[in-house]
Structure 1
Amino acid sequence: MGTEAIEAVFLETRNWGKAAKFFQALGYEMEMSAGDGSGVFRNGEGPYLVVVEIPEDREPGVQIALKVPDADAFRADPAIDVVTPFQDTHYGTREMTVRDPDGRLWSLQAPTKS
């Protein structure tokens, strides 16, 4: 079993307020704001957009999370470099980190066990 789709895009920003206004101007609706410079946006049925404010001295990054329907049924092909196996997250998913051939890290996300 492989991945199904892009589940979410995680973006770091140096200015939460400006970033929130930018994505809302592009048609994204804020589904949740944590009140700490982070929030979740969505545009229709597309992937979630998770935006988190970081300190000025850090370079903003981006990470794409691919959807896996069942972490227990997922079998990593030997061609996949598993950095961390599936683990439960504090935000209600199970997440695995893999590295592509060019060294980029990818997140695979699955629902938690019921």
Structure 2
Amino acid sequence: MTTDGVEAVFLETHNWGKAAKFFQALGFDLEFSTDHNSGQLRNGDGPYVFIAEIPEDREPGVQIVLKVTDADAFRPDPAVEVVTPFEDTHFGTREMTVRDPDGRLWSLQAPAKK
């Protein structure tokens, strides 16, 4: 089984409010915000964008998350280095981390077990 495209883009920012307004100006709708300066936006049926505010002393990062329909059925090709197998997350999904040939880490996200 392979991945099913891009699930999400996770962005870190120094200013949640400005970042959210930027994406809203580009046509994204705010799906929800949290009480700790983060939230999720979406434009149409495509991947969602989750933005989280971080302290000024940290460099903002970006992470692209690939979609997996069924974590239990997913069997990565031996050419894919698995860093961490699928684990439950605190936000109700299952996540796996893999490393590409250039050393970048990628997250694969699947629905939580039913």
Tell me if both proteins adopt one fold, taking TM over 0.5 as the criterion: yes
2:94 match:
94
Unaligned 5+ runs, structure 2: none
Is 1:23 aligned with 2:43? Answer: no
Task: Give the percent of matched residue pairs that are identical in Structure 1 and Structure 2.
Answer: 75
Unaligned 5+ runs, structure 1: none
- 3-state secondary structure, aligned to 2:84: strand
Runs of 4+ in 1 over 6 A off after TM superposition: none
1:63-90 Cα offsets, whole Å, 9 max, x none, are 0110001000000111111110000011
- 3-state secondary structure, aligned to 1:22: helix
**How many residues are paired up?**
114
1:75 match:
75
Structure 1 counterpart of 2:86, which letter? F
Query: What's the TM-score once normalised by structure 2's chain length?
Result: 0.98
Measured on the aligned residues, the alpha-carbon RMSD in Å equals: 0.6
Matched residues in 2 for 1:5 and 1:32: separation? 23
Is 1:9 aligned with 2:9? Answer: yes
